[in-house]
Amino acid sequence: MILINENYTKLPGSYLFSDIARKVNEFKTAHPDATIIRLGIGDVTKPLPQASIEAMHKAVDEMAHAATFRGYGPEQGYDFLVNTIVENDYKARGLDISADEVFVSDGSKSDTGNIGDILGLDNIVAITDPVYPVYVDTNVMAGRAGDLLDNGKWSKVVYLPCTAENDFVPSLPTEKVDIIYLCYPNNPTGTTLTKDQLKIWVDYALKNKALILFDSAYEAFITESDVPHSIYEIEGAKEVAIEFRSFSKTAGFTGTRCAYTVVPKALMGYTKSGEKVSLNKLWNRRHTTKFNGVPYIIQRAAEACYSVEGKKQVKETIGYYLNNAKIIREGLSAQGLKVYGGVNSPYIWVKTPSGMTSWGFFDYLLNELNVVGTPGVGFGPSGEGYLRLTAFGTLENTKEAVSRLRKISI
């Protein structure tokens, strides 16, 4: 008899964005002439930096000749990319991260989901609420989440509400937790923590021997000086935090797939008997066993993002999306809606008008204005009453979407 992992049967029927896609497809079938503007899923529209394209072409040519052909590469990433990451993303900010603490991968989504492989099932998990669904779902799959309750929460997960009432700043847990997921700039709310606010979490983790899983996929969008680009800017963080970074939203690699995770050698986990174990060594073992590495061609493209021209092109792309965010934020604010985020982030978090539910507002925008957002409740119970919009569309579609949103009449 083939036994399954029964934790999978506890998950809701489908992934949030699958539900959205189904609703949009049903609408398109019923209204084939409608022009739909999608500001829901966080996919990008700007092409890869020209520097990356040129690097890929060169790398493809190398693969055509025996003398320069590359087969299996190091699972952790080629030295040329890892060293470039260390120099530009860490040492340039005065942070002491070494090459053997960096692991190149095919995406932060993969890594934030897979990191649980090296962590015990008895750990108590804390998440900010609302939250990127992958953090929760992968813990459900592993068996750490317990059962889904009628209030939309999982019985073994500690929820840290982030709403307008607390300025979207989570409070420290009042009960014991072992693993804390933090994503800043935040997906979905688009809000941030200052260095002082993040220090509170690092100090908590140090005191309680807890692990912070810090998703920094949107750090390139930071515009304010008091918002840290890396958790390692906070003293002591290397002893308690793993950081996840991605080229997806920074340089348009959503379809090209490249990211990296930093696991400091100073970071320790513990056996049940209290023995210290290096999480860096555990992740290295997991990574090299289950992953064959990002393709050479893609890593050359990622490396090119750090060239003089690459940095300029990436900065222009980030500026393009931040301008879209500004247009959405200011347009909705002028409409009288309460909006958050969109300053250090490509996400705008909108309070639904007239007490509408998240899905109710989603349906209204789709059916009446042909604009697609993401219902806030899909990110967790505290997301009810909000909707997420993204700035990753084209400038033309963004302006048109805002023009349509000005017609909201509820």
Tell whether 25 is in a known binding site: no
Residue 214 CB contacts under 8 Å (≥ 6 apart), including other chains: 182, 183, 184, 231, 241, 242, 243, 244
Q: Which of helix, strand or coil describes residue 125?
A: strand
Tell whether 190 is in a known binding site: no
Contact between 84 and 260 (Cβ < 8 Å): no
Tell whether 247 is in a known binding site: yes
Cross-sheet strand order for the sheet of 386-390? 339-341, 347-351, 386-390, 374-375
Q: In one letter, which amino acid is 257?
A: R
Strands 386-390 and 347-351: antiparallel
Q: Which of helix, strand or coil describes residue 24?
A: helix
Q: In one letter, which amino acid is 387?
A: L
Tell whether 236 is in a known binding site: no
Q: In one letter, which amino acid is 52?
A: S
Tell whether 72 is in a known binding site: yes
Tell whether 88 is in a known binding site: no
Helical pair 50-63 and 296-304, crossing angle rounded to 10 deg: 150
Tell whether 364 is in a known binding site: no
Tell whether 139 is in a known binding site: no
Contact between 380 and 168 (Cβ < 8 Å): no
Distance CA 146, CA 142 (A): 10
Tell whether 199 is in a known binding site: no
Pick from 131, 163, 132, 133: nearest CA to 338: 163
Tell whether 257 is in a known binding site: yes
How remote is the C-alpha of 93 from its chain's centroid? 22
Tell whether 204 is in a known binding site: no
Residue 172 CB contacts under 8 Å (≥ 6 apart), including other chains: 200, 201, 204
Distance CA 101, CA 106 (A): 17
C-alpha distance from residue 105 to each of 63, 77, 216, 294, 377 (Å): 21, 8, 15, 6, 30
Tell whether 7 is in a known binding site: no
Structure tokens at 110: 């993969």
Binding site residue list for substrate: 15, 42, 109, 132, 187, 292, 388
Binding site residue list: 15, 42, 72, 108-109, 132, 187, 218, 246-248, 257, 292, 388
Binding site residue list for pyridoxal 5'-phosphate: 72, 108-109, 132, 187, 218, 246-248, 257, 292
